[in-house]
Amino acid sequence: MSNKISAFFQLTKPKIMILVLAGGATALFMEGSLLRRPIDFLIFIIALYLTGGSANALNQYFERDLDARMSRTSGRRPLPLGRLSSGEALIFSIGIGIIGVFVLFLAFNALTALMAIGTILFYSLFYTLWLKPHTSQNIVIGGIAGAMAPVGAWTAASGTMALQPWILFLIIFFWTPPHFWALAHYYRNDYRITGLPMLPVIKGTGAVLNQIFIYTLLLFVSSIILLAINFGWFYFSAVSILGPWFIIKAYRARKNKDSVLIWAMFRFSIIYLFVIFVSLMLDAIF
């Protein structure tokens, strides 16, 4: 029984969901009202996990045959390992999505629920079934889904749109290509075997590193824009130190075309985003 529960949990891509939850929580801290309603705060985080996990689980359901052919996923994901049947995965994926959407609708508002539905459909159907197999810019466009958590969090808390969560959206959106292209470069042979048109396979190392460098610059610019309208000393310190550091890492990787440097940049990108989120939350508290 515990193995089955673990398999369902892995279907939601928990490591990715940590970043999604952190983005949503950051927006809730910045908006502020749910800090005085901790139960509602927790309810939103749970609903966000259910809806985001639904999109990830559907992605694994649709890509189960591809995952079985890739070294990165064949020995890790529950469907290639045979820990779940495809029917179980599909029912679970749809079920937690429906529950999450209904929670957002009943506990918060229709706008947040509609955005959650749109995100699930965009990622699991449009990105997984059309974008990913047809364009080398799949990571860029697909990044829209992963960047929506702050916007949904803000609308859940306030019932309205605002500028701050959309700039958070841009930060996550511009962070996504450097992060995932560095990962795709490391596993480029997997993508070559499956025939997926990932940028490192289609254009080569030089082209992907040029794109990564451009997106790190755009990430820094969007971070500065948020600083201009939401100044805080913790965030100022994080952006001032980590922003140029990320750019330097991207430049060094681009200049040397070294796999070790590319992988180091990938690992740094995770630290970067988490520190940005934490600094914004600290500024909201203090």
Over the stretch 213-230, which tens digit does the pLDDT of each residue have?
A: 999 999 999 999 999 998
Is the domain of 206 the same as that of 114? Answer: no
Residue 173 and residue 69 share a domain: no
**What mean pLDDT is predicted for residues 96-100?**
98
Handedness of CA 98, 99, 100, 105 (dihedral sign): positive
Mean pLDDT (the chain) is: 94
Domain boundary among 110, 134, 161: 161
Using CA of residue 204, residue 207, residue 210, residue 215, what is the dihedral sign?
Answer: negative
Same domain, 190 and 179: yes
Q: Residues 45, 182: one domain?
A: no
Smallest CA-to-CA distance from 266 within 137, 136, 177, 144 is with 177
| Residue 75, pLDDT score | 87
pLDDT mean over 180-206: 89
Decide which of 161, 178, 194 is a domain's last residue.
161
CATH of the domain at 73: 1.10.357.140
DSSP 127: I
pLDDT value, residue 3: 86
Mean pLDDT of all residues in 195-214? 91
Q: How far apart are CA 278 and CA 280, in angstroms?
A: 5
What was the pLDDT predicted at 191?
86
163-177 mean pLDDT: 97
**According to the model, what pLDDT value does residue 245 have?**
97
In tens, the pLDDT along 121-155 reads: 999 999 999 989 899 889 888 999 999 999 999 99
How far apart are the C-alpha atoms of 215 and 209, rounded to whole Å? Answer: 10
Within this chain, do residues 7 and 96 fall inside the same structural domain, yes or no?
Answer: yes
Q: Total structural domains in the chain?
A: 2
45 and 149 both lie in a single domain: yes
Full domain range(s) for residue 185: 162-286
Please give the structure tokens belonging to residue 262. 């590319």
CA 114 – CA 100 distance, rounded (Å): 11
- Local confidence band at 189 (pLDDT 50, 70, 90 cut-offs): confident
CA distance 130 to 113: 24
Together in a domain, 99 and 40: yes
Last residue of a domain, one of 161, 187, 214: 161
pTM of the full predicted structure?
0.94
Q: Quote the CA–CA distance of 90 and 109 in Å, as a whole number.
A: 27
Residues 55 and 150 in one domain: yes
Q: What is the per-residue pLDDT for 210?
A: 95
State whether 175 and 213 are in the same domain: yes
pLDDT higher than threshold 90 for residue 162: yes
Query: Which letter does DSSP use for residue 286 in this model?
Result: -
One domain, residues 52 and 89:
yes
In terms of domains, do 18 and 149 share one? yes
pLDDT digits (tens, 9 = 90+) for 15-73: 999 999 999 999 999 999 999 999 999 999 999 999 999 999 999 999 999 999 988 89
Tell me, what's the pLDDT at 154? 98
Q: What is the CATH number of the domain that holds 249?
A: 1.20.120
Same domain flag for 27 and 5: yes
